[in-house]
């Protein structure tokens, strides 16, 4: 096991710039969901709960990775890391905006 502060041992996307990008992306996506909910659905009857759940997972992954937390278990490191979180956040933005 590497030293807890040695982020580069987990891969190139654990560098400082990547963590900053994750945090900014998560903040932007969360702000978009809360400040402009009309992008998600025109009414609560049109709300796609699966997409919203996926988006919240991406935002959670962005915050976890962005603040520098690295889970010890590999499964959590993958599901809450940038390799899964970034594509999920990008997919949500694409589906909401397009």
Instruction: Write out pLDDT tens, residues 4-53.
Output: 567 778 888 888 999 999 999 999 999 988 887 776 766 566 667 788 88
Report pLDDT for 21.
Answer: 96
Which residues have CB under 8 Å from 76's CB, separation 6+?
Answer: none
Which residues have CB under 8 Å from 81's CB, separation 6+?
Answer: 10, 13, 14, 61, 64, 65, 70
| Containing structural domain, residue 91 | 11-97
Is the residue at 6 inside a domain?
no
Give Dmax (Cα) for the chain.
49
**74: exposed, middle or buried (C-beta count within 10 Å: 0-12, 13-18, 19+)?**
exposed
- 44-77: pLDDT as tens digits: 666 677 888 898 999 999 999 999 999 989 999 9
The encoded tokens of residue 31 equal 């702000």
**Total count of domains within the chain:** 1
């Amino acid at each position: 096991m590497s030293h807890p502060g040695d982020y580069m041992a987990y891969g190139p996307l654990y560098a400082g710039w990547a963590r900053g990008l994750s945090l900014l992306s998560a903040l932007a996506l969360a702000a978009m969901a809360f400040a402009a909910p009309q992008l998600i659905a025109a009414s609560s009857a049109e709300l796609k709960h699966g997409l919203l759940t996926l988006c919240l997972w991406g935002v959670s992954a962005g915050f976890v990775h962005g603040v520098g937390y690295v889970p010890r278990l590999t499964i959590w490191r993958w599901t809450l890391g940038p390799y899964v979180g970034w594509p999920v956040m990008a997919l949500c933005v694409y589906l909401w905006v397009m």
